[in-house]
Amino acid sequence: MKRLAERMSRLGTETAFDVLVKAKALESKMEVVHLEIGEPDFDTPKHICEAAKQAIDQGWTHYGPSAGLPELRSAIAEYAGNLRGVKFNPDQVTVTPGGKPIMAFAIMALVEKGDEVIYPNPGFPIYESMIAFMGGKPVPIRLREEKEFRLDTEELASLVNKRTKLIIVNSPQNPTGGVLTKEDLRLIAGAALKHDAWVLADEIYSETLYEGKFESISQFPEIHPNLVILDGFTKTYAMTGWRVGYGIMPPRMAKLLAQIQTNVNSCTATFTQRACLDALSGPRDETNHMVAEFKRRRDIIVDGLNSIPGFRCKKPAGAFYVFPNIEETGIDCEVLADRLLEQGGVACLSGTCFGEFGKGFIRFSYANSVENIKKALEKIEKVLA
């Protein structure tokens, strides 16, 4: 049999999906609380579902333009621009099945052999996977607990050089919930421009924020020619399974990403795009309720974890994850994550699922009910007792 392409050995994965399968399999033997997967436990707001049903009935079941439906690109440009206090044009928008393809497509479009890409570590595992897959050199920047998991801008400046093609930033961040300040973003933009590097700003949690106002690197106009923003509908509207996301970038880049999409998956489903128009223009009460509820759960899980001996947990300002330091338990984080699942029935992820600098930490998603979070806290305490 002929060998697989060499690049396949460099492809990583997102362990959350593997743990989900393992945890589901355990359910026949024991009760399992799912704190592993990053997905709101709320249903998609009714008016969005109704809009999708209506779109199917109206015949929105055919191929659409690769860049996305023009009316949705316009609505996104306006909505995303208002959220960030910036003016975007529809020709800057490419709509994709979820936000994830923007990550892959931007890296495909920019990174070639030998290019360095700086990415947050601990961070979303797909960054490192796609950088390496495309032949680039992943250059991790460590996010430190003592800095509330914001990247150190001085360290960033020391890592950027003429080989740096791309800098990936993610705020609010997965897995730490860390949020970058306006000043951090200004310095990051400056560091990138010094060496003409691109920035991929993963802003998928732009509306899952509990403190202050959302700050985007796009508020610095000088970075616009080198900027790709990633955002989408999955987290804000509890639409993980619908698969609609988008990128906002210079028009030439938006066109290239749409061309990659033509090659890979033609377009994003058209009836889901029609429903997203309603997501943007419809009532906000359900999304507001979701964020208020996440905040309540965050406080419960942070207080609960901090009362468990060996756990030390920061209170994150955004996203729906906590990333406690568990070094003082004396147990390796991978061993502890397995033990919490297999002995306690609490599905969670070892910090190392998010890179080498996640060692000593565990990630819990608190996109689950207060009842289940309390149950999980009791189970964790029992396993450690």
Pick the closest to residue 169 from 88, 186, 71 (CA basis).
Answer: 186
> 3-state class of 265 per DSSP?
coil
Per DSSP, helices labelled H in 58-166 are 70-84, 100-110, 125-133, 153-159
Interface with ligand PLP (CB under 6 A): 38, 98-100, 124, 170, 174, 202, 204, 232, 234, 240, 245
State the DSSP code for 151. Answer: B
Nearer to ligand PLP by Cβ, of 120 and 345: the residue is 120
Residue, CB closest to ligand PLP: 98
Q: Smallest distance, Å, CB 276 to ligand PLP? A: 12
Nearer to ligand PLP by Cβ, of 143 and 377: the residue is 143
Nearer to ligand PLP by Cβ, of 140 and 344: the residue is 140
φ/ψ (deg, to 5) at 205: -100, 25
* 301 vs 307: CA distance, rounded Å: 10
For every residue of 192-215, DSSP letters joined together read HHHTT-EEEEE-TTTT-BSSS---
Nearer to ligand PLP by Cβ, of 90 and 232: the residue is 232
Q: Smallest distance, Å, CB 240 to ligand PLP? A: 6
Nearer to ligand PLP by Cβ, of 68 and 344: the residue is 68
Pick the closest to residue 348 from 29, 13, 23, 30 (CA basis).
Answer: 23
Q: Smallest distance, Å, CB 245 to ligand PLP? A: 4
* 143 vs 168: CA distance, rounded Å: 13
Q: Smallest distance, Å, CB 338 to ligand PLP? A: 22
Nearer to ligand PLP by Cβ, of 98 and 247: the residue is 98
Question: How would you classify the pairing of strands 245-248 and 227-232?
Answer: antiparallel
Pick the closest to residue 118 from 104, 137, 103 (CA basis).
Answer: 137
Q: Smallest distance, Å, CB 98 to ligand PLP? A: 3
For the record, the structure tokens of 325 come out as 């330091």
Q: Smallest distance, Å, CB 189 to ligand PLP? A: 20
* 362, 324 Cβ separation under 8 angstroms: yes
